[in-house]
Amino acid sequence: MSEKSSTRTFLEKISKILPEIKKPGRKVGLGEKLVWTALALIIYTWMGHTILYGLPQGTQVGQSPALLNVVFAQKTGTLITLGIGPIVTAGLILQLLVGAELIKLDLSKPEDRGLFTSMSKLLAIVIALFQSAAYVYAGFFGPTNATQNIAIFIQLVAATILIMLLDELVQKGWGLGSGISLFIVAGVAEEIFVALFSPIILPDQAYQGIILASIQAIFTGNLPSILVRQGGYPDLVGLFSTIFLVLALIYIEAIRVEIPISYAKFQGYRAKYPVKLLYVSNVPIIFATTVFSNIFYLGSLIWSRFNPNNDNIFLNLIGTYRFDEQLGTVVSTGGLAYYVIGPRGIASVLQDPVRAVVHAALLIVFAVLFAKFWVQVSGLAPEKVAEQLIQAGMQVPGFRRSPEVIAAVIGKYIGTVTILGGLLIGLVASVADYVAVFGSGIGILLTIGILQQYYQLLIRERISEMYPGLGKLLGRE
Amino acid sequence: MSAKKRKEAPMPATAAGLLRFFEDESTGVKVRPEIVLGASAALIVAVLILRALFPI
The count of structural domains within chain B is 1
Residue B21 lies in a domain: no
Of 1.10.3370.10, 3.30.360.10, 1.10.10.10, 3.40.190.10, which CATH number belongs to A241-437? 1.10.3370.10
Per-residue confidence band for A368, with pLDDT thresholds at 50, 70 and 90: very high
Partner-chain contact B10 A475, CB within 8 Å: yes
Beta bridge partners of A432: none
Higher pLDDT, B23 or A405: A405
CB atoms within 10 A of CB A92: 23
**pLDDT at site A271:** 79
Q: How confident is the model at residue A375 (pLDDT cuts 50, 70, 90)?
A: confident
Q: Which of A51, A71, A87, A113 should we substitute to test contact with B (largest number of B Cβ atoms within 10 Å)? A: A113
B13 assigned to some structural domain: no
Answer yes or no: is pLDDT of A138 > 80. Answer: no
pLDDT above 70 covers a percentage of chain A that reads 93
Q: Which of A12, A18, A41, A43 to mutate to test the interface with B (most CBs of B within 10 A)?
A: A43
Biggest distance spanned by C-alpha atoms of chain A: 78
Per the structure, the complete domain to which residue B45 belongs is given by: 29-56
- Least reliable range by pLDDT among A60-69, A325-334, A420-429: A60-69
What pTM was estimated for this model as a whole? 0.83
d(CA A162, CA A432): 33
Bridge partners, residue A323, by sequence:
A330
Cβ of B18 and A91 within 8 Å? yes
Q: Is B34 on the interface with A (CB under 8 A)?
A: no
State yes or no: pLDDT of A112 exceeds 50. yes
* Average pLDDT over every residue of A163-168: 94
Does any CB of chain A come closer than 8 Å to the CB of residue B31? yes
CA angle A75, A78, A79 (to 5 degrees): 105
Q: Read off the pLDDT of each residue in B6-34 and give the average, rounded to a whole number.
A: 60
pLDDT for residue A324 is more than 80: no
Q: What are phi and psi of A275, to 5 degrees?
A: -110, 105
pLDDT interval class at B24 (50, 70, 90): low
Q: CB-CB: which of A52, A165, A475 is closest to B3?
A: A475
Q: Homologous superfamily of A30-198 in CATH?
A: SecY subunit domain (1.10.3370.10)
Q: CA A225 to CA A28: how far, in whole Å?
A: 53
For an interface test with A, give the residue of B1, B4, B11, B27 to mutate (most A CBs within 10 A): B27
Task: Return the pLDDT at A2.
Answer: 44
Do residues A79 and B44 make contact, with C-beta atoms less than 8 angstroms apart?
Answer: yes
Inform me whether the C-beta atom of residue A73 falls under 8 Å from chain B C-beta atoms: no
Task: Check if B3 contacts A (Cβ < 8 Å).
Answer: yes
* pLDDT score of A38 more than 50: yes
B45 is a domain residue: yes
- Residue spans of the domains in chain A: they are 30-198, 200-233, 241-437
